[in-house]
Every structure is written in structure tokens, then in C-alpha cells.
Amino acid sequence: MSPSQRVPAGERRRFRTGRPCLDFTHTGGEGPYAVWELLREPADVALYVGALLDVDLDVVAEDVAGLRPLRTALTNVARGAAQGVPPGAGDIAVINATAAHAPLVPQLDGGRVVLGRGTVPQALSTLARDAIDLLASPLRDRIRVCAAEDCGLLFVDASRPGLRRWCSMERCGDRAKKRTARGTS
């Protein structure tokens, strides 16, 4: 079973943005995001961060606290981008410093690319590099926050007109349409 298939079904919807760096922000955080915290111990990091990149990770206890600065920086920058706010210098410094470490190593596996087993610092570097790629592209202006009142997940609007409102049409979009059809908001 691949790492991404080990995530409990109820949590999988957090990890469908198509960008691992945004999915990483959905693992919890500080302040109002603490209620969504998934990364409390090494086994959690192995499960969830491993699932984001579909890789098996070797995790040590220090990795749990070590991932928080990057997650906070990515959350700040992505949510800021969704609101048209330029990234802060401190957040950029954290992302760049994390990306400077060696990333996970891609390997060819029967005609497809997979990431070889690695460490959490390598996974964080890979996530930071994904964020740099996203934030330095025109897609930066397509980062959105789901419009559902009870959601708030980030996603990249890759639709042609750029008018997507929900993280998932199957969940949030469908529920909004049902509420509209019933005449409730």
C-alpha cells in the first residue's frame, strides 16, 4: 500500500489541491489552525507528510517541531497570495533556507518517476521547492481559499476562466449547490 493510500478516508480531502506545498498547509498550524493539527508525533509526520509526496520517510522526534516554521511560512504566503498580499520577508527567508537543503531524490520506476525513501528535512526541501515553483509562476494569482463557510482549504484554480470557488466540486461545491436549491444559504 502506498503512503498516500494509508491516510484515513476522512482526512484525504485535505490533500487534493494538486500542489503538495498547499496540501502541507492543511496539516494544521498555529492559532486558529491548531484545531486541524495532524502532526503531533513522528508516526503522524511519517503518515501525512509521506502521503503528500507519496514517499516513505524516516522520522526522528525533532522532525515534529522542525517542520512547523516551513508550514507556518507556507500558510502565510499562500493565504496572502489568495488575498493579493505580497509575501513577508521572514516567510520568504524560511522557504528559501528550507529549499537550500538536499531534496528527496527522484527515481525511475518502470517508466514513472517516484521519490526514493528519505528524511523529513529532504521532504521539507521538496515541499519548499514546490512552493517556490508555484509562487514564482502565474499560478500564484490563482491560489484561492474555498468559498464554503465551513471549509477554508487552499487550492490552485486551474480552470480556464479562473472562476473556481470551491476546493472540491464533489464536496463543497455540491453542498453549496444543494443549499441554493433548497433556498438556504
Q: Is residue 173 in a domain?
A: no
Q: Is residue 162 in a domain?
A: no
User: Which residue range is the domain that position 9 belongs to?
Assistant: 3-140
Secondary structure (H, E, C), 92-128 = HHHHHHHHCCCCCCEEEECCEEEECCEEHHHHHHHHH
Tell me, what's the pLDDT at 2? 61
The cell 492559532 sits on which residue?
Answer: 31
Q: How many domains does the chain have?
A: 1
Q: Is residue 147 in a domain?
A: no
Q: Is residue 176 in a domain?
A: no
Q: Is residue 50 in a domain?
A: yes
pLDDT digits (tens, 9 = 90+) for 32-52: 889 989 999 999 999 999 999
Q: Is residue 12 in a domain?
A: yes
DSSP letter for 135, please: H
Which H/E stretch holds residue 166?
Answer: none
pLDDT digits (tens, 9 = 90+) for 140-170: 999 999 888 878 889 999 888 888 888 876 6
Does pLDDT of 138 surpass 70?
A: yes
The per-residue b/e assignment along 28-62, b for 16 or more CB within 10 angstroms, e otherwise, is bbeeebeeeebbeebebbbbbbbbbbebebebeee
Q: Is residue 17 in a domain?
A: yes
Q: Is residue 184 in a domain?
A: no
